[in-house]
Structure 1
């Protein structure tokens, strides 16, 4: 598949992902608090406090620039309680130094493995605007959302980090 086609598909997925994020924020009522599955009974404070915590995702210090241009890959380490479900995404911004900023987004293509152990997944980050990424520093926001099976409350855990694209 060509890089141009891959970028087009990824932009479409990013638009859908943005709509889903907006829907999730509308359901939960806040971007800061945990999102609740639609139709679920409100979680009791004790149940929410008893749910196992999710560690913040670990983001590699460097991303690998793809020679086809504009895209980079980053390794992300995560862990989540057994039988949980979740999702993992990366948002990136890079000052191109000429008055432009490259913005992009990527997500784990497969559902995260949740078994209480650490796992590493490589996530491609594709630009969502007119300008692509270049070698150099980029600011990333990586978010792992874990949904334990019994509480029906999803816990978003973000990590912010400046990385080097090489």
Structure 2
């Protein structure tokens, strides 16, 4: 749903804004794409293991691997499917975390990331980007991999 702006402009109005497109609330996304009890248990377990490694109570090494920024959810899920068996194989010595990042915060020109422009076409369909990002995170968790995201 797109809402056009009022034609009346004040001196403080941003005259370049032509429309507003509401985005789903966090609660709406959580309802539509839920973190099930099983997923929540996995996230909690992984966080506890990572905390133990960082505190020196677990001798394993944390390895965060993955793309700079996800641009193709299908390719990212394929990567996760290939990484999951390795995470299991080396679980005694490594805690493998998949980097699943959706933005390009240090990019000053060009594509800004999957959430802002999921079609990589300048459409800036943030609503679709948010849904795509959350669905991908849940899919990776379902494979048994912890995910690492960056917040800047």
- 1 or 2 for the larger relative contact order (CA 8 Å, sep ≥6)? 1
- More helix by percentage: 2
- More strand by percentage: 1
TM over 0.5: no
